[in-house]
């Protein structure tokens, strides 16, 4: 990985030094992005542990009705600002994702106890800064791939309507809220095609990774780290400004 990154940076430097008439120098752009991400903030690990406990409780207690929790598919929105210099693309932006439309939930409904509904809510706000290599095909048609840093603000909240209704779950508290901000990394691969002279549409795959230090719940004494490793798939609309 270090060798690949070193060779990529060397290529970027040489491309910037030699230049090419196929790409404009001093060209700025702005863009809007929207897409989806699966398993936001890597909560599938938590969901799997709750689902295993739900299944075990149902098997150990005949007559119990249950509904397991699904890993959510979450919308992402964002914007970016960019500057193209020959074969190099510099970009900064912001991305926001939240499981706010239908929070993922499951339940345990024992025959002689109250129903316990378990809900997962999570959001992520990130500020990515990227340096990318542009592979031009023709004017405004190009592929690009890059590497960069992210600054993340994330939250995971797990709540239960009646945690005393069933034993053996990973948490016995009514709510646990974990929130932190920390840095991470990302890789990006994308492509753009023109709509007009200054407007393009783009498609991108962004893989991000990073883990927080252990953080304590705002509601209890429980502690955990937050892993934001995930993949984002984005479509974009971009407008270029030439000086």
Taking the CB of residue 55, how many other CB atoms lie within 10 A of it? Answer: 12
The pLDDT of residue 112: 83
Q: Which tens digit of pLDDT belongs to each residue from 57-71?
A: 999 999 999 999 988
What band does 102 get if pLDDT is binned at 50, 70 and 90?
low
The pLDDT of residue 101: 57
Tell me the DSSP string of 88-138: EEEEEEEEEEE--SS-EEEEEE-TTS--EEEEEEEEEEEEEEEEEEEEEEE
Q: Are 96 and 71 in contact (CB under 8 A)?
A: no
The pLDDT of residue 125: 97
Q: Which tens digit of pLDDT belongs to each residue from 209-223?
A: 999 999 999 999 999
C-alpha pair distances (Å), 165 with each of 47, 57, 60, 160, 221:
19, 11, 14, 10, 21
Q: What is the mean pLDDT of the chain?
A: 87
Structural domains of the chain in order of their starting residue, each with its CATH number: 2-242 (2.40.160.20)
Q: Which residue, 170, 157, 155, is CA-closest to 108?
A: 170
Q: Which residue, 99, 113, 120, is CA-closest to 171?
A: 120
User: Using CA atoms, how far apart are residues 153 and 175, in angstroms rounded to an integer?
Assistant: 20
- Main-chain dihedrals φ then ψ at residue 217, nearest 5 degrees: -60, 145
Left, alpha or beta for 42 (phi > 0: left; psi -120 to 50: alpha)?
left
What band does 243 get if pLDDT is binned at 50, 70 and 90?
low
User: Using CA atoms, how far apart are residues 21 and 27, in angstroms rounded to an integer?
Assistant: 13
- 187: pLDDT strictly greater than 70: yes
- 114: pLDDT strictly greater than 80: yes
What band does 17 get if pLDDT is binned at 50, 70 and 90?
very low
Q: Which tens digit of pLDDT belongs to each residue from 133-168?
A: 999 887 778 999 999 999 999 999 999 999 888 788
């Amino acid at each position: 990985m270090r060798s690949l990154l070193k060779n990529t940076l060397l290529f970027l430097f040489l491309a910037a030094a030699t230049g090419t008439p196929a790409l404009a120098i001093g060209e700025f752009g702005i863009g809007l992005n929207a897409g989806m991400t699966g398993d936001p903030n890597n909560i599938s690990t938590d969901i799997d542990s709750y689902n295993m406990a739900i299944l075990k409780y149902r098997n150990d207690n005949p007559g119990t009705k249950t509904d397991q929790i699904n890993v959510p598919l979450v919308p992402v929105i964002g914007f970016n600002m960019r500057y193209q210099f020959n074969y190099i693309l510099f970009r900064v932006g912001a991305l926001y994702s939240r499981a706010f439309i239908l929070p993922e939930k499951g339940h345990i409904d024992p025959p002689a106890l109250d129903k316990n509904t378990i809900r997962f809510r999570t959001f992520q706000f990130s500020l990515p800064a990227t340096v990318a290599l542009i592979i031009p095909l023709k004017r405004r048609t190009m592929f690009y791939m890059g590497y960069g840093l992210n600054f993340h603000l994330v939250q995971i909240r797990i709540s239960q309507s009646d945690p005393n209704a069933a034993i053996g779950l990973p948490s016995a508290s009514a709510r646990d809220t974990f929130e932190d901000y920390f840095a991470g990394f990302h890789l990006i691969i994308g492509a753009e095609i023109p709509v007009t002279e200054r407007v393009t549409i783009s498609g991108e795959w962004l893989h991000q990774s990073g883990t927080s230090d252990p953080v304590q719940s705002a509601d209890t004494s429980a502690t955990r780290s937050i892993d934001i490793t995930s993949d984002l798939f984005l479509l974009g609309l971009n407008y270029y400004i030439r000086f």
